[in-house]
Amino acid sequence: MDIENTIKSELIYSGQLLELRRDIISTTSGKSFREVIRHPGASVIIPYTSNNKIIFVKQFRYAISNFLIELPAGLIEKNESHKDTAQRELREETGYSAKKLSNIGKFWTAPGFCDELIHVYLAEDLSYDPLPSDLDEDIETIEIELNQANEEIIAGKITDSKTISALNMFSLLLKN
């Protein structure tokens, strides 16, 4: 299996969140094209409370014109580590900070066209320590037990892919 090499790269769009590039590449069968979204990456957090519940956020997502129940998450800011992002987003979106923040894995969201890599953090030993919310976010917090969250995934009530992936990692971690 050969690596595809970039011959030429053209910036199509550059915004606050992402870039879209159209690349000409070499493959074993000749030249081809790839359209790639460049993304800064993100952290998703599983805030696990002392009463064995997980804190979720419910927010409107403009791209799908609907509300989603999700784990708190956010983009990595310039010169910020994945762990720092996780702690900041946890405080902004839930009002809690974690004394124990453990990286339990990572995953690519859509590697066929996007380079977004999300790191998953388990947040434990929570204490109320809010940061101001982002001005464009209107978030409601909801506490749900893991088993109930998994049932809501199966029932199609929790449909956010990063949340499903992170909860699957957490469930596997608990089994080991």
Q: Which residues pair with residue 53 across a beta bridge?
A: 145
Contact (Cβ atoms closer than 8 angstroms) between residue 121 and residue 86:
yes
Q: Which of 85, 30, 59 is closest to 138 using CA atoms? A: 59
Find all residues with CB under 8 Å of 30, minimum gap 6, and list them: none
What backbone phi and psi angles, to 5 degrees, belong to 109?
Answer: -80, -45
Phi (first) and psi of residue 130, to 5 degrees: -70, 150
The backbone torsions φ and ψ at residue 158, rounded to the nearest 5 degrees and listed phi first, read -110, 115
124 is catalytic: no
Query: Of 10, 137, 145, 151, which residue is the catalytic one?
Result: 137
CA-based max dimension of the chain: 58
- DSSP type of residue 95: S
Residues in the chain: 176
State the catalytic residues.
137
